[in-house]
Amino acid sequence: MATDPRPPSFGEAVRFWLKLGFISFGGPAGQIAIMHTELVEKKRWVDEPRFLNALNYCMLLPGPEATQLAIYCGWLLHRARGGLVAGVLFVLPSAVLLWGLSYLYAAHGRLPWIEAIFAGLKPAVVAIVAAAVWRIGQKALKGAVFWAIAFAAFVAIFWLKVPFPAIILGAAVCGLAGLRFWPEKFLNRTGPGAAETVGSREAAGTMRPTWGRAARIVALSCALWFAPVVAIAAWQGWDGMFARMGLFFSEAAMVTFGGAYAVLPYVAQQAVETHGWLTTPQMLDGLGLAETTPGPLIMVLQFVGFMGGWQHPGTLSPLLAATLGAALTTWVTFVPSFMFIFLGAPHLERLRGNRHASAALSAVTAAVVGVVLNLAVWFAWHVFRMQGGGWNGFAIAVALVAFLAQWRFKAGVVAIVLAGGLAGWLWSLAT
């Protein structure tokens, strides 16, 4: 019989979020998979229903859903300071690593050894994602009706290209209709009855959301969000490159639903064609570098800011201008995520006892499983297919070995990620 999970100290949580920041490869699907494995299954700091409800909420928000999920889970464990630390440490390792890689790229061109390591790391992450999607599906989809909703959501987004908000709205309507006509099937696992975890005990003391609290969060968040932009505008004027960059990426943070895969085409077009901050080949190389580092894929926006500053430094040195552009872009991209979570998480937790909300969230959870499967299939397709056509046998072999290692031998995420990167590097030497 499993022992009761011990509440983590704040120091333990800090160490975990720092580790997560270094191993969270694979875009949103990979990061969600890793958090589920570590937080729900291994440590039992967050229970399954809360994790899935948090994921539902984060998928509905503009911006990087995996970052927001980390903030939400950190908030569940240690409230505001937990959310702040989780979000910052989820992004910081990637930001530092990508800054270094951006400098090497700007100064010396493409980095073949990085590409070689990632050639082995990507299929290893595919295996992590595949195993996690299967585990989440088994636990979240209790009954044929939820499997059907998940399958319908996958078909809708993968083949029919139905907008994500429409899929979620349709699932919520299905849940409410199911509560009316088939209540025993739709009041499933989002209500009481799940095994107790640290997260469920902590959430029992959730603060009561008030209008005053919401106003304070919005005021403080907006002040922090726009302070650097206003300061730079006071220095260079609103027509200066950095002020325009800050405003553009602030806007992108508010309107980009669907995560990095949805925002990248829009940002690439604007950054290349409208603003001229970098070229199309540089944008594609930046995407490769962002995929190479841990953390959210949306970090490619930092690369855009870096290259914009490097190539248009004005009176500053190229490195200083690039660093300023990278820091400003990262700041305005991620600060809104903290505001969204601190505003909405208490409301979501209080809705958990509501029958109508539970039924709707049960159906939305099933739909989100289908959407995550779509992300996993999209990622796997791009890993296994070669640019010139045909299949990448090396990538498929690494993925199969990695899947077997975690499924049969319970290998950890860190070991799989490191082994995948090493395999890619050795393969490049052999070929």
Which residue, 210, 222, 148, is CA-closest to 350?
A: 210
Helix, strand, coil percent content, the chain, rounded in steps of 5: 80, 0, 20
Q: What is the DSSP letter of 237?
A: -
Is the Cα dihedral 231, 234, 240, 244 positive or negative?
Answer: positive
pLDDT at 313: 94
For residue 61, which amino acid is it? L
Helix (H) or strand (E) holding 320: helix 318-350
Distance CA 198, CA 40 (A): 10
Q: Are 39 and 311 in contact (CB under 8 A)?
A: no
The β-bridge partners of 385 are 391
pLDDT at 207: 60
Average pLDDT per 10 consecutive residues for the chain, totaling 431 residues: 70 95 82 90 90 86 90 96 97 94 87 81 82 79 89 91 83 90 69 46 60 94 96 94 94 71 72 88 79 82 95 94 97 96 90 78 84 80 84 94 89 83 92 81
pLDDT at 115: 78
Cβ neighbours of residue 71 closer than 8 Å, sequence gap 6 or more: 83, 84, 86, 87, 90, 337, 338, 341
pLDDT at 256: 66
How many CB atoms within 10 Å of residue 275? 15
pLDDT at 161: 83
| CA 226 to the chain's CA centroid | 23
pLDDT at 226: 96
Name the burial class of residue 430, with classes exposed (0-12), middle (13-18) and buried (19+) by CB atoms within 10 angstroms of its CB: exposed
pLDDT at 1: 42
pLDDT at 192: 37
To the nearest 10 degrees (0 to 180), the angle between helices 300-311 and 241-255 is 170
> What pTM does this model have?
0.81
For residue 337, which amino acid is it? S
